[in-house]
Amino acid sequence: MTSALPRSRRLARKAALAFAALVAAAAAAAGALGWTGAAFAQTTTITVAANGDDANPGTLASPLKTIQAAVDKATPGTVIQIRGGTYAPSINVRVNANGTASAPITMRAYGTEKVVIDGENMPYTPGAVGSSIPRADRGALHVEGDYWRFEGLEIVHGPYGIFAVDANNNVYDRLITRDNYESGLHIQGASANNRIVNLDAYGNRDPRKNGESADGLAIKEGSGTGNTVIGARLWNNSDDGFDAWEFLSPIRIEDAAAWGNGYNHWNLPDYAGDGNGFKMGGGDVDPPANHVVVNSMAWKNSAHGFTDNGNPGSLQISRSTAWKNGKTGFDFDSSTSKLTANLAVNNAAPVALGASTGSGNSWDIKSSWVDADLANTGTSVVTGARAADGSIASTNFLVPENYPNLGATFV
């Protein structure tokens, strides 16, 4: 079915959403993004290629062989460009140097070539059941540096895909983190002003914890303001799509989607994956953190679509959609959150509010919503190829026929 909304109103709605998101993002991440999009100072370019040699100078004609050799040579303003191919080192790539606000260090694929960092040969792939992974070994790409940009890379089969700790002012742009033995992208510790843009994180699982820990994207167990997630797709991970467990500072998520998380695709014994689309906090003491979610979707997760998970803070959840989740669409009965213009359809329960409040949500409009109320329930566009700019492709998936300003939209 196609949307019955006139084209002029659809365009107006899209423009309003885009403007609102831009203003809110700027306010939420002021200072964090002041250098993003600026004219960076570039000091040198280092090229890496699978047929290179680390004794080479690292030029395009005479490239280095290993990514680590390039990282070790990088200084503020350096661009590390990696030629297409699969790089499978026996230990992880460790990023410890810092760029600067005006001269970040960039690691990116060369042109449109496909670069895969494969961690299968690294230790802890997987770790033994019940074991822990030493901090330095976490992540096929281990990041402790500030002011880095990681662009257009695919990270697979690692002990975590990317593990960043005490890492600030970094950009993770158009990355794929899949089939790792822990979370796809994990940010922890004193980490502020990081920006995750158009991430695809899927198929991540953790045999050492029976599926209990591997999320698509985790920003957890730490603090730091200005962390922003835009356009992420998080699916078929053993634990949650997104996890903010014990992160003490506000995180902003917008234009994101999480689906199919929490199912045991790997036949792990004693399976313990949680299966929330967006887990917005929680902890052994349940610390408060005022996270924000805007224009995002969660569907067919084994547990909740969106949940405060015990977070007693004041979260803001707006223009988001929960569809066919195994538990509650919007579970915010431990917090004093504000929910506005959200849509819940065909979940086990639509909402659990507790002391939370809101207005203009689907449950405020009418008590029963069914698939027939939606313009389109076909997932193929939103789960398929991204648009040329890396964003989620345009679709009227899960947009209500008669309430076009309700819930999320990728139109």
How many residues make up the chain in this entry?
A: 411
DSSP 394: P
Residues forming the active site = 279
Measuring CA to CA, how many Å separate 60 from each of 74, 149, 262? 16, 20, 44
User: Which residue type sits at 289?
Assistant: A
First to last CA, the chain: 14
Instruction: Return d(Cα 359, Cα 363) in angstroms, integer.
Output: 9
User: What residues contact residue 341 under an 8 Å CB cut-off, 6+ apart?
Assistant: 318, 319, 359, 360, 361, 405, 406, 407
Secondary structure (3-state) at 5? coil
Would you state the structure tokens that stand for residue 153, as one six-digit string?
């890379």
User: Which residue type sits at 393?
Assistant: A
β-pairing verdict for 343-345 and 321-323: parallel
145 Cα distance to chain centroid = 19
Measured over the CA atoms of residue 244, residue 105, residue 107 and residue 88, the dihedral's sign is negative
Instruction: Return d(Cα 249, Cα 117) in angstroms, integer.
Output: 31
Geometric angle at alpha carbon 27, from 408 and 356, rounded to 5°: 55
- Three-state secondary structure string covering 44-56: CEEEECCCCCCCC
